[in-house]
Structure 1
Amino acid sequence: MEIWDTYDKNRIRTEERMFRGDSFKDGHYHLIVHVCIFSTEGKMLIQRRQPFKEGWPGRWDLTVGGSAISGENSREAAERELFEELGILYSLEYVRPHLTINFDEGFDDYYLLEQDIQLSSLKLQKDEVQDAKWAELPEIIELIRKDEFIPYYESLIHFLFEQRKKYGSFSR
């Protein structure tokens, strides 16, 4: 059973914790991380969730994602998710999330990385991931439209591809 730290609306960690699946108290939020790995060719590494996985079974998803567990900060959670789900050891020590999106129950941090990874080197977490592949933007949009990808806003996927080598919201 996962235990999560809770945060207030200003993203300050509270003294309270909760279990995955518990109802959120008013004013309490949790932290989720996503890591999107792009190849130097501009493709995103995506993974297919296991058909028995709770929440979007059998659908394609971003490279990795998941909730931060109690005691972890965003960076630590992102590093753990990369290793657990795909067997990728990657230090994010000097990397900040490219963007954070607020949602009803918390905060989604998105890390955008560029690294050419051989699919054969991945170690898929059997409980969560059934497959992984490189995909171009049009393919991901088509998978979303065919209901075969987690239904992210298409504009978010476009934004992730656009921002993959940049920080900030304006060009210099």
Structure 2
Amino acid sequence: MSAIEVILVDHLDRPTGRMEKLEVHEKGLLHRAVTVYVFNSRHQLLLQQRASDKYHCGGLWSNTCCGHPYPHESTQHAAERRLFEEMGLRLTLTPMFELSYNLPMSNGLTEHEYGHVYFAISDDLPRLNPQEADSWRYADVESVSEEIDRNPLAFTPWFLHTFARIPEQLKRFTRKT
């Protein structure tokens, strides 16, 4: 993994510094993140299966994409950049909500993030970056919820945490669009 810096923040998402991404995850420090959920016109969620050789959570299913803003990069730009880098999709995203979580990973790293969550609707098919994702699929939100109940270990911890808010947020989003 290259030496990418992320933005350290306080509990109100105010920047407090910057640090190399892996070090932040090793120390479990709160930092800014972006999470993207893309739905098709039938309101099915575009899921990503993380590349099996990722430094954590490889092979697990997750939201469409996620990542971290660079220092001096807006969360909107970071979310749209990561969507293109991971899934090959260029979409305008809508900010939906923010949340914070502190989740231990299986390899000793910690996802302690202040997350900005974005939505989009598109029927464009992804063009996966094989360094980021092994596979993708569309699934009804209800089906994903049932799958989570049956096998939560098939999903990333942050997806499990954020997904609980998705059905209600999707209703709100589709009323606006």
Answer whether TM exceeds 0.5 for this pair: yes
- 1:69/1:148 Cα in 2 relative to 1: closer, same or farther (>3 Å)? same
Which amino acid in 1 is paired with 2:68? S
Unaligned runs of 5+ in 1: 168-172
Give the TM-score taking structure 2 as reference length: 0.78
- 1:64/1:155 Cα in 2 relative to 1: closer, same or farther (>3 Å)? closer
Which amino acid in 1 is paired with 2:118? Y
The answer to whether residue 38 in structure 2 is matched with residue 37 in structure 1 is: yes
Identity of aligned residues (%): 27
Unaligned runs of 5+ in 2: 103-111
- In structure 2, C-alpha distance between the alignment counterparts of 1:153 and 1:123, rounded to whole Å: 21
**Bigger Rg over Cα:** 1
Matches for 1:4-19 after TM superposition, within 5 Å: 4-14=6-16, 16-19=17-20
Greater Cα offset, 54-63 or 105-114: 105-114
Over the aligned positions, Cα root-mean-square deviation in angstroms equals: 2.3
Aligned length: 158
The answer to whether residue 170 in structure 2 is matched with residue 164 in structure 1 is: yes
Give the TM-score taking structure 1 as reference length: 0.80
Note if contact 1:112-1:160 (Cα within 8 Å) is conserved in structure 2.
no
- In structure 1, C-alpha distance between the alignment counterparts of 2:10 and 2:71, rounded to whole Å: 15
Note if contact 2:6-2:31 (Cα within 8 Å) is conserved in structure 1.
yes
Which amino acid in 2 is paired with 1:124? L
**Higher helix content, 1 or 2:** 2
Note if contact 1:143-1:149 (Cα within 8 Å) is conserved in structure 2.
no
Note if contact 1:141-1:154 (Cα within 8 Å) is conserved in structure 2.
no
Structure 1's consecutive aligned runs of 4 or more residues displaced over 4 angstroms after TM superposition are: 152-156
- In structure 2, C-alpha distance between the alignment counterparts of 1:34 and 1:20, rounded to whole Å: 16
Note if contact 2:6-2:21 (Cα within 8 Å) is conserved in structure 1.
yes
